[in-house]
Each structure stands twice: as C-alpha cells, then as structure tokens.
Amino acid sequence: MSEEADTHEGNGKVSRVIRIGTRKSQLARIQTDSVADRLKELYPDVHLEIVAMSTIGDKILDTALSKIGEKSLFTKELENALERNEVDLVVHSLKDLPTTLPPGFTIGAVLKRENPHDAVVLHPNNAGKTLETLPEKSVIGTSSLRRAAQLKKRFPHLEFRDIRGNLNTRLKKLDEKQDFAAIILAAAGLKRMGWENRISTILEPEDCMYAVGQGALAVEVRARDADILEMVSVLHDPETVLRCIAERAFLRRLEGGCSVPVAVHTQVKDSQLYLTGAVYSLDGSDSLKETMQTSTAADDKVLQSLEEVDEQVQRVGVTASKIPSDAQDRAERLGMELADLLLSKGAKEILTVARQLNDSR
C-alpha cells in the first residue's frame, strides 16, 4: 500500500486511496482511465488517483526502438514508482511488458483484448489505395522490425522507414509532410483514441501477424500485495489470459524482444487454443512459421481443488488464480513447445543474424 493511503470522509468512514501509475501519452491516459472506470464500478468506496510519468521510450524519440537496447523501455520508471510505493498498480499495454518481470512484480490482470491486428493509415493524398496498389518505392513508416520484415516480403515494391513518437506525433508526421505514403499502427490504439476512421485496411494474419500481447491491457502490481492482487484479479479476461500466456511463453523461449522480428496469432475455438508463431530475417526473405494447438477445457478435478491453488504461481509474469491452473499450464506449455519446434528448424540462427544486422545498422 502507498503511504497516506486512507482518507477520512465526512461520514466518519475511512476510504482507501489507490494510486495508479501510467505513461503521460494521451493513449496511455485513455487506457488507464478505462481501467480506473472499471475499478470504480466494482469498488465504489475506493478513491483512485492517477499518477502520470515519462519513460525512457517516451524521451528517446530519435532512435529506433530496436536500437535502444533496453528491454523495459516503456515500463522501467513505472516499475520504479511501484517499487518505491509511490503507486499501487500500473497500467501498461501488455506488449510493452518484458516476458520476465523484475523480482517482486506480477501482472495481476490482463483485460479483454481489443483487436490485436495492425492497421494501414494512408497519407490523405493516397485515399482509396492499399499497400498493394501504392506506387513503386512508396515509403511506409513503421518503428517495428516485425511489421517491416513481414511486409517487405509480402509487398516487395514498397520501402520501409522508421517512424517514432506517440500516435498523435506519428499521424502528424504522416499528414503534414510528404515523407510517408502510409504508416502501420496497432488497430487497438487507433480505436481507443477514437480514430478508427483513419484505418484504411486491417492487416490479416496472412499479410502481417501481430506482436505478443498486442491489443491487451495489463495491470502490474507488487506480488506481495495480496489485497491489491485480489482487487484487480476480477479484471482478468480468461480467454485473453490464456492466449497471452501462450504468446509470452513462445517469445520468452525464443528470447525475443523489440530487437528481433517475432510474430504471433492466437485463437480460441471449440475449447481449443491455436497458436501460430513465426520468426523472420530483417528483410523477411528467411522465415519459419508453425501452428500448434491445445485444449482450454478445465479438468473437473482441478476445478474442485481451485481453492487450494497457490496464489503466487506466476506464468510468464501473469498471476491469475481464478482461472483454472491446468488450462494456464497447457497454454504456457503450448508456447514453449511451439518455440522449441521453430528452434529445432533453425529459428535461433535467423534471430541471431537479425539481431547482429540490426545492431550494426
């Protein structure tokens, strides 16, 4: 709990103050407000305070993310505040959270996923066009090696260049200059900002698979704060949790991060969790892609013993004690086994070369 975390109301009741940490960008604030609104509905007696701060990733805007060489670009300052008890929980885009969290922290909630796919946003002059119909050598802006690798292979007539900054900045760079024919952004962010009308195409998995955890919000807490953990656990969306555990386990096993092109696609259908994972060379010419599946159905015996589950079990950083543990275990195993399959076919070599090339650029 933070210091001075109680306030006395006029009626003599003591009300808790919960401080929520967030990045300062407009999108981060919108995402954090959406989590705060859910908590207010569920716990009307709790007072919520939002504490906004800048992170390394927000400050270094002239360098590609993959070149900065820091795994927790958008999370470190927020975690420092959590560690110092200045905030009680932090709202992140799950895709910004490394697959191994610092000791003492856990993801206490993964909320229902927004559309995880990437979107094409065209320069106003190119209205009505698609990536396919853009002229030869049109420049596409993306700060993601994953997007560039997949799209270079799929659309060899296009060129790809880094574009950094928050959503507002990137759209401004697109609209006000002639540098880019289009930019690629996460559909979820555009939707949360109310800018769906800027989306010209949603990229299907055949064209571009998404990043691990993309489209999902995560609430990070101190692992020892049982009351806060319990409080936020009701925000978990079971299907999103299982999909993201599988995705994060896949990435962790591959030792991937911002600096290598790794992509996924997950789906839950008829009590089966399907995970497609892929690794790419920087230019997309070399790639490996496979799909595996596992059951998401809960074992009756496990359901009966759910009360006795050790609350502190973390799977790739996620604590979800109210979701059947065997389903979580299977999701984690699925991610690891798919990574092992790709590694057995040469994924490590592809990623090592990609990392070395990126470092030397």
Q: Are strands 287-295 and 272-280 parallel, antiparallel or unpaired?
A: antiparallel
Element (H, E) at 119: strand 118-122
Residue 163 near residue 173, CB atoms below 8 Å: yes
CA-nearest of 184, 227, 190, 230 to 207 is: 184
Let me know if 340 is a catalytic residue.
Answer: no
* Neighbouring C-beta atoms of residue 179, cutoff 10 Å: 13
CA distance 151 to 253: 25
Residue tagged active-site, from 96, 118, 225, 237 = 96
43-72 as b/e: b if 16+ CB within 10 A? eeeeebeebebebebbeeeeebbbeeeeeb
The number of helix segments (H) and strand segments (E) in the chain equals 12, 14
Question: For residue 127, what are its two tokens?
Answer: 């209205």
CB count in 10 Å sphere of residue 104 = 12
Give the pair of three-digit tokens for residue 182.
């289009």
Query: Can you give 171-232 as a three-state secondary structure string?
Result: HHHHHHCCCCCEEEEEHHHHHHCCCHHHCCEECCCCCCCECCCCCCEEEEEECCCHHHHHHH
For residue 318, CA distances in Å to 87, 138, 228, 288 come to 19, 41, 14, 27
Is residue 21 within 8 Å of residue 82, measured between CB atoms? yes
Catalytic residues: 96
